[in-house]
């Protein structure tokens, strides 16, 4: 790395990039670095391709465009603001600030950012995968744009990838185009391409390519589990942190039905019929339609949009991640995983009692919906009994059930299976509630992000002990990325998870500490359901086929070049 005036210039495999220092020159950041060619025009719904090299330094001091968004981030943020127990005036100010924030959406979104100490050398690397249901969000959100991890010696990489319609559309004609004979999962391919960029370039930014941690929240947490499952990602990371992994499209399969899901490529065909009419050559016609027009159709047809998610296709995703953990085919890396006490508080008004993997039940009773989901009226009644008020669609009961059905059971299942496989697991439970006594959202979905990145919602007090909680979580995350264990000086011991005596680290204020996991009969019912359903959507592949152990293994599609196998 060398400096030019107040900027920093670093060489990448495609050409030099120019970043900027902070005012004291302690930290350096690069924003909007392209890691793959623009996926536009004839490259729409294609695997990420290599960049065309450049010679002059590329200005990387401002973020690039974000992927096209299905819905406004304002809606989610407004729910948080309304539940924090703030005054009318503060709520109005916060919402006005969110409305005023402008972002540019574009298909040309395959960029990433790098942030580090100015003197970083062979430092641990953390690659952040943002949340947003695989349909919204970006790595350039202000809450991720801090020096919290860099100050602890981490080189932080935030990635953008294609979302929703442009990231996960499957279609028979796209299957025919593909060398792998399958389509969709372009967003997953983007994530893998970004990790390969890290392997080839991060050393020049002061990072250690042999010590990479992937971490993400919600859809990003699910993406972490997907990457632990994907053969092409094997060897590209060395630790994994999955924060509140969601279950969006959890059972979706590329070419066979499962539960209420029809095959993803059939749903893609239906979308194409809506957009350009039936008949041959739909994909060339779709590529000729503007992104804005296609996004209007996507937003207006949620019944089809629910299929634009990662899907089991036998190639990029050979199994549902939950099945991979059961079959012991996941990446053998240390795992930190957990969820929040009130994950469902922001979703109860739109929640489906069987979770988003089932269609809205309409006139069906809750019992009927749960019976379809669990395959037994007796089990459905037992689940309803565990959440009093669920049958009458009480908001608190729906919130508690969604917390466990969407988030809790995934954490419980993956923690148990990964530990049983002989790998170190560190499980946590986040319980910090907003400081206001009139707050209604509790330890809400995504709340822990503010502690990990030492961010703050303007005008919102953290409360007594909040700074200590933030310091503790930042230290734990950085320690895990450095050594594969979250244990570090000045903090109590956090033992590896033991399925025979399950315990988790409680993150709360004023104090955090280890507690036994409470017995939850409902989670046991949900785990039994997972075990029954996982193999329904497992691809027809040889699960005994050797998995690659590092980039460049000849036994896999992962090659030495960043784009080999994509």
Q: Which pLDDT tens digit goes with each residue over 47-92?
A: 999 999 999 999 999 999 999 999 877 788 889 999 999 999 999 9
Tokens representing 405 are: 């059905």
The band of 545, judged by pLDDT with boundaries at 50, 70 and 90, is low
Q: Is residue 46 part of a domain?
A: no
User: Is residue 232 assigned to a domain?
Assistant: yes
φ, ψ dihedrals at 143, nearest 5°: -70, -20
The arithmetic mean of pLDDT across residues 101-116, rounded, is 93
Strand-pairing partners, residue 9, are 2, 18
* CA-CA-CA-CA dihedral for 221, 222, 223, 228, to nearest 10: 100
Q: Is the dihedral of CA 561, 187, 64, 455 positive or negative?
A: negative
- Of 26-40, 301-315, 413-427, least confident by mean pLDDT is 301-315
Note the pLDDT of residue 90. Answer: 93
pLDDT for the residue 543? 47
The CATH number assigned to the domain holding 512 equals 3.40.50.1820
Q: In this predicted model, which residue has the larger pLDDT, 250 or 245?
A: 245
Cα-based angle 445, 303, 262 (whole degrees, multiple of 5): 100
Q: Which domain holds residue 303?
A: 121-135+159-537
Residue 529 maps to a domain: yes
CA gap 90, 468 in Å, rounded:
25
User: Residue 519 has which token pair?
Assistant: 């017995």
Residue 167's closest CA among 36, 255, 262?
Answer: 36
- 316 confidence band (pLDDT: 50, 70, 90): very high
Lowest mean pLDDT among 19-23, 180-184, 371-375: 371-375
294: pLDDT strictly greater than 90: yes
Mean residue pLDDT across the chain: 90
Closest CA to 494 of 557, 479, 391: 479
Tell me how far apart the alpha carbons of residues 23 and 494 are, in angstroms, rounded to a whole number. 37
Phi and psi for 237 in degrees, rounded to 5?
-150, 165
Residue 224 lies in a domain: yes
Query: Residues 58, 14: contact at Cβ < 8 Å?
Result: no
Do the beta carbons of residue 443 and residue 341 sit within 8 Å?
A: yes
Cα–Cα distance for residue pair 140/144, rounded to 1 Å: 7
User: Which residues make beta-bridge pairs with 429?
Assistant: 339, 506
Nearest to 443 by CA among 547, 325, 343: 343
Q: What is the mean pLDDT of residues 428-455?
A: 96
Tell whether 361 is covered by a domain. Answer: yes
Closest-CA residue to 189 (of 158, 220, 218, 223): 223
Q: How confident is the model at residue 481 (pLDDT cuts 50, 70, 90)?
A: very high
The share of the chain scoring above pLDDT 90, in percent, equals 74
Compare 362 and 235 and report the one with higher pLDDT.
235
pLDDT at position 4 is: 45
Q: Report the first-to-last Cα separation within the chain, whole angstroms.
A: 30
User: What is the tally of structural domains in the chain?
Assistant: 1
Structure token digits, residue 109: 């979104």
The span from the CA of 543 to the CA of 482, in Å, is 32
The pair of structure tokens assigned to 433 is 């509630």
Q: Catalytic site residues?
A: 218
User: Contact, 161 vs 111, CB < 8 A?
Assistant: no
What integer is the mean pLDDT of 493-514? 96
Answer yes or no: is 94 within a domain: no
- Asked, for residue 509, whether it belongs to a domain, the answer is yes
Least confidently predicted of 91-100, 331-340, 408-417: 91-100
Residue 226: its pLDDT value, please? 97
**From the CB of residue 181, how many other CB atoms can be counted at a distance below 10 Å?**
12
CB 224 within 8 A of CB 246: no
Is residue 515 a part of any domain in this protein?
yes
Beta bridge partner(s), residue 428: 338, 505
* Confidence class for position 557, pLDDT limits 50, 70, 90: very low
Helix, strand, coil percent content, the chain, rounded in steps of 5: 35, 15, 45
Q: Above 70 in pLDDT, residue 332?
A: yes
């Amino acid at each position: 790395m060398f400096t030019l005036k107040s900027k920093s210039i670093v060489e990448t495999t495609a050409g030099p990039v120019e970043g900027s220092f902070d005012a004291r020159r302690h930290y350096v950041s690069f924003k909007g670095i392209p890691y793959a060619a623009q996926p536009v025009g004839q490259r729409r719904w294609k695997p990420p391709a290599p960049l065309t090299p450049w010679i002059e330094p590329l200005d990387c001091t401002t973020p690039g465009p974000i992927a096209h968004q299905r819905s406004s981030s304002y809606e989610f943020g407004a729910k948080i603001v309304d539940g924090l127990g703030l005054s009318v005036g503060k709520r109005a100010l916060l919402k006005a600030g969110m409305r005023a924030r402008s972002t540019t959406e574009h298909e040309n979104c395959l960029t990433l950012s790098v942030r580090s100490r100015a003197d970083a050398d062979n430092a641990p690397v953390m690659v952040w995968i943002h949340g947003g249901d695989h349909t919204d969000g970006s790595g350039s959100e202000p809450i991720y744009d801090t020096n919290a991890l860099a100050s602890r010696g981490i080189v932080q990489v935030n990635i953008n990838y294609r979302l929703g319609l442009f990231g996960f559309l499957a279609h028979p004609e796209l299957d025919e185009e593909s060398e792998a004979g399958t389509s969709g999962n372009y967003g997953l391919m983007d994530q893998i391409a970004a990790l390969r960029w890290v392997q080839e370039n991060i050393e020049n930014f002061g990072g250690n390519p042999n010590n990479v941690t992937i971490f993400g929240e919600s859809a990003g947490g699910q993406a972490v589990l997907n990457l632990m499952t994907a053969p092409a990602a094997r060897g590209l990371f060395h630790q994994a942190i999955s924060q509140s992994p969601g279950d969006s499209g959890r059972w979706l399969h590329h070419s066979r039905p499962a539960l209420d899901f029809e095959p993803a490529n059939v749903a893609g065909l239906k979308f194409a019929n809506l957009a350009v009419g039936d008949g041959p050559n739909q994909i060339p016609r779709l590529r000729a339609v503007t992104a804005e027009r296609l996004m209007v159709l996507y937003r207006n047809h949620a019944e089809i949009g629910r299929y634009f998610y990662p899907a089991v296709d036998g190639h990029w995703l050979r199994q549902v991640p939950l099945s991979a953990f059961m079959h012991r085919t996941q990446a053998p890396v240390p795992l930190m995983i957990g969820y929040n006490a009130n994950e469902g508080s922001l979703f109860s008004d739109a929640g489906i009692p069987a979770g988003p993997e089932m269609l809205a039940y309409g006139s069906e009773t809750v019992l009927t919906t749960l019976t379809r989901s669990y395959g037994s009226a007796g089990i459905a009644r037992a689940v309803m009994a565990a959440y009093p008020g669920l049958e009458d669609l009480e908001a608190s009961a729906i919130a508690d059930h969604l917390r466990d059905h969407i988030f809790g059971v995934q954490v419980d299942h993956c923690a148990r299976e990964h530990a049983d496989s002989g790998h170190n697991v560190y499980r946590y439970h986040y319980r910090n509630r907003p400081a206001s006594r009139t707050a209604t959202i509790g330890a809400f979905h995504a709340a822990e992000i503010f502690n990990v990145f030492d961010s703050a919602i303007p005008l919102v007090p953290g409360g007594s002990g909040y700074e200590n909680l933030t310091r503790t979580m930042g230290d734990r995350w950085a320690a895990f990325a450095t050594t594969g264990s979250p244990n570090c000086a000045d903090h109590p011991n956090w033992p590896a998870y033991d399925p025979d005596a399950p315990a988790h680290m409680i993150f709360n204020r004023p104090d955090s500490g280890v507690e036994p996991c409470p017995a939850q009969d409902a989670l046991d019912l949900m785990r039994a359901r997972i075990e029954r359903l996982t193999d329904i959507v497992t691809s027809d592949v040889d699960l005994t086929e050797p998995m690659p152990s590092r980039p460049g293994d000849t036994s896999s599609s992962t090659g030495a070049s960043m784009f080999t196998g994509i």
